[in-house]
Structures are given as C-alpha cells and as structure tokens.
Homo-oligomer: A and B are copies of this chain.
Amino acid sequence: MKFHVSVFVGVVHFLSLTSGKAVYGNGISQRTFQEIKEEIACYGDVAKAIINLAVYGKAQNRSYERLALLVDTVGPRLSGSKSLEKAIQIMHQNLQEDGLENVHLEPVKIPHWERGEESAVMLEPRIHKMAVLGLGSSIGTPPEGVTAEVLVVTSFDELQRRAPEARGKIVVYNQPYTNYSRAVQYRVQGAVEAAKVGALASLIRSVASFSIYSPHTGIQEYQDGVPKIPTACITVEDAEMMSRMASRGSRIVIQLKMGAKNYPDADSFNTVAEIVGSKYPEQVVLVSGHLDSWDVGQGAMDDGGGAFISWEALSLIKDLGLRPKRTLRLVLWTAEEQGGIGALQYYQLHKANISNYSLVMESDLGTFLPSGLQFTGSDKARAIVEEVMCLLEPINVTQVFRAGEGTDINFWIQAGVPGASLLDDLYKYFSFHHSHGDTMTVMDPKQMNVAAAVWAVVSFVIADMEEMLPRS
C-alpha cells in the first residue's frame, strides 16, 4: 500500500428502501429493493459452498501456501527489479496452470530505483549507528556522505517557525503517529519541505503503529523547482531519542550516506486472468492486489496477501464450477508502490469500457481476519452491498464501512465506478508495513481463508446478479 488510506470507523446501517420502484443498474431498473434483496438471498447456498471450500474444505490454506512458495522463492519485488519480473512470469504461469481464462500480461513502463548501500551514523553527542532505509525515488548522497548538524521538528508548522535554523542542516521529523494518512505526509513531502528552507537532507521517523527498532520505507515525492535532497527513514526509537537530546540542548551531528539511484524506466506488466461471464461477458467485476513490494522483507503482507486472495477468489469460484453472468477479472498490479503506475496504465487502456465496470475491488490493507468491507458508491449500491455482505454471516464478516478507495482502483472510483476494499486490523498492518518485518511470519493461513471467502462471495454475487451496481 502506497499512501492512501482513509478509514471511516462508523458502520453504515442498512438503508430501508423497501417500497416503490427504484433506479438500480446502469439504466432504469423496474425492480423494487425487495426484489433485489430476494435475489441476493438466493445466493445463500452459493455463499455457503464458497465458505465451506475456502475455510473448511480442500482449498483451506491454499492462498497462504501459494503465497509462501512465491515470496520464499523470489523475495521482495521492488519496481524495476529482476525479482518483480520473475514473480510476474511465475504468476503468469500459475494462473494458466490453474485453468483460468484469458491469462495475459499487459505491458507497463515502471520506475526503476535502487537504494544501494546506505548508512546513518550519529557522530555527536555519541557514536551511534542507526538503522536507516532510503525512501523510494530519493537521490543518493555524495560518496563521502552528508555530515551535518540536526534540526529536530515534530511538524511542518514547527519547521516553518524554525526555518532560519534549518539551512545547512539535516532535518529530522519526529512527527507523531496519530494515523497513517496524517503521518505519511512527512514521508511523502518531508524532503521537499526541508529543501525549501535550505536543509541538506531529511530523515523521517518511520510511519508505523509499533516498532522494534524497525525502519519503514516508502515512496517520497520531489517537486519541480525545489532542490532534490537525499531522504531516508529512521526508526521511531532514534527519532524520539534525538528529540529528547535536542530538548536537552545537545548538539546532534549525523553522517548520512546513501547510494540511491534512479534508472531509466523498466519494462513490466500487469498480470490479468479471467472467468469470462456467461451472459454479459463484456461487463466486469475487477478483483485485485499488487504484485510489487518494497525491497525489504518479503512483501508477503503488502501486498502478497491481497494479490493471492484475489487469485484465490477466482480459484474458488472455478473449483465450484461456477461461472457468473459478468466477467470476473483478476488484475495483479505492477508498481503500485511507486504511485499506482500499473493501475494508471490499465485505466488508460480500458477506460473506454468504463460503463461496463460494475465494481472494482482491491485488497491492499492486509488479509488478516477481516473486519468487513470498505465501500464507496451510491447509497443504492451500498444498500445492495450490505445485503451481499449478509451472506457472510456464517463467518461473521458482515460490516460495510465507508471509504472503499485504494491506490489501484481510485481512477475508476473517481470516474463513478463503485469500489471496495477489504478492511482488517490496521494497527497490525502498520506495524509491519514497508519494513523488513513484512514476511510470511505475519500471515495466518486461517485468516487468509476467511479473507478469501469474503472476497470470493462479494465478487461472485456482484458479478452474477441480474443488474450491475447502480451509480450515483
């Protein structure tokens, strides 16, 4: 997950639209909501069959085992790396061998950045070798590094107030972690804001809900007209320590060395597979996760889990001999972490068919025990999705929250297509996010079974209902 997350914590209650004819589907529907409810209720047996297969049956633990094999084999999968391209080739073959339809690769040019060797050593007030991870797209330092005094701030406001002190220094951001959306601004814009006031480099406190001295990397963005300075993340622990040292009046000096380099764009692919619709093959329900990751850990959680429950959704439906009326399309995005590069390419290639997209789904917030579904769409579409989620009562995952957006599906949602994301324990997610700790150890096969069941039931039922989800 790159940097979008917006969680509406309240539960949106079922809308009582039980009388009168209402507009559902792309055109004018003549059906009452009661009729739609009855249609959805008919999927009870299908939902139970999917749940039984995924959670208790032959398919249990399959998505976990498949994921473990991939990420143990190729490791992390940074945009532009050979391991990402190896993973894409393996997945292309996996999807073909799984018997899915229209398995193919759609070419994308993606960023190619490498961190190289890097180090950050505190020289004053005492020698201390710090854990550090350069931020994606950052330039490197000269070979001898940048050695400078530190200015510690806790916010952009404080940086503005103390702007005269920043010139020639390394700015250290010790921003609090209130939530991801707020804190991540320091990772994304920290270098630009520091450069504007004359800093030589910037170090940000890792954006993480929990730390065992773990740096958490991620993308950062330069701005035209602002000098590019090297930027990296440090641990919560070191940011807090420097904040204490500074508050005692200690002079802090750091030597930062980064071998980071940006290379010309590399060739990559979105990986696509389908179960072609029986009645409206041109209409689409899209399920997705991204295959790329950061270059640390195994990219098992972000977003191996999302990619593999998306694949699992199609596998489960195929294994049960089901074929929905609409096409179920699996997309494994490339270069999400660099800003949804694969997703933008896909949107541009396919947007002419936008009127035929019923629902776009992305799982990129973990595949732990799901809390429910985040959904963005019209009230009428939401009411339908809430009914569909009732089918998941046997595994107690029925809640529908706001904010279905995700980096890879936002283009569609902004253009009016309903969108959904899987929601689970975000405190856990942001404990491991973009760190060396994003490995299979975080993943739980039983939780992935449940997540896959949710994903399969929602995508199948929406793809099979008589009408597309209504838009605003």
Q: Which of A125-133, A319-327, A342-350 contacts B (4 or more CB under 8 A)?
A: A125-133
Contact with B along A445-457 (1 / 0, CB 8 A): 0000000000000
CB closest chain-B residue, reference A127: B75
CB closest chain-B residue, reference A242: B72
Partner pick for A436 among B75, B131, B241, B245, CB 8 A cutoff: B131
Decide: B237 and A437 in contact? CB cutoff 8 A. Answer: yes
* Of A244, A298, A441, most B-chain CB atoms within 10 Å: A441
Copies of this protein in the assembly total: 2
Q: Chain B residues near A128 (CB, 8 Å)?
A: 75
Decide: A435 and B212 in contact? CB cutoff 8 A. Answer: yes
Give complex CA distance A248, B440 in Å: 15
* Chain A count of residues within 8 A CB distance of the other chain: 32
Q: Chain B residues near A131 (CB, 8 Å)?
A: 436
Give complex CA distance A241, B236 in Å: 27
Assess whether A74 is interfacial by the CB under 8 Å rule: yes
Assess whether A411 is interfacial by the CB under 8 Å rule: no
Contact with B along A374-413 (1 / 0, CB 8 A): 0000000000000000000000000000000000000000
Assess whether A431 is interfacial by the CB under 8 Å rule: yes
Assess whether A73 is interfacial by the CB under 8 Å rule: yes
Give complex CA distance A439, B69 in Å: 36
Assess whether A308 is interfacial by the CB under 8 Å rule: no
* Of A125, A211, A297, most B-chain CB atoms within 10 Å: A211
Decide: A237 and B439 in contact? CB cutoff 8 A. Answer: yes
* Of A75, A241, A298, most B-chain CB atoms within 10 Å: A241
Decide: A440 and B211 in contact? CB cutoff 8 A. Answer: no
Residues 290 to 319 of chain A near chain B (Cβ within 8 Å)? 297-298
Nearest Cβ on chain B to A2's Cβ, whole angstroms: 20
Nearest Cβ on chain B to A334's Cβ, whole angstroms: 21
Q: Chain B residues near A248 (CB, 8 Å)?
A: 69, 72
Q: Chain B residues near A73 (CB, 8 Å)?
A: 125-126
Assess whether A113 is interfacial by the CB under 8 Å rule: no
Q: Chain B residues near A241 (CB, 8 Å)?
A: 72, 298, 439-441
Given A73-B126, A75-B128, A237-B437, decide whether A213 and B211 contact each other with a Cβ distance below 8 A: no
Closest 10 pairs (CB-CB, A-B): A212-B437, A213-B436, A237-B439, A213-B437, A212-B214, A212-B212, A237-B441, A240-B441, A72-B241, A72-B244
Q: Which residues of A are interface residues toward B (Cβ below 8 A)?
A: 68-69, 72-75, 125-126, 128, 131, 210-214, 236-237, 240-241, 244-245, 248, 297-298, 431-432, 435-437, 439-441
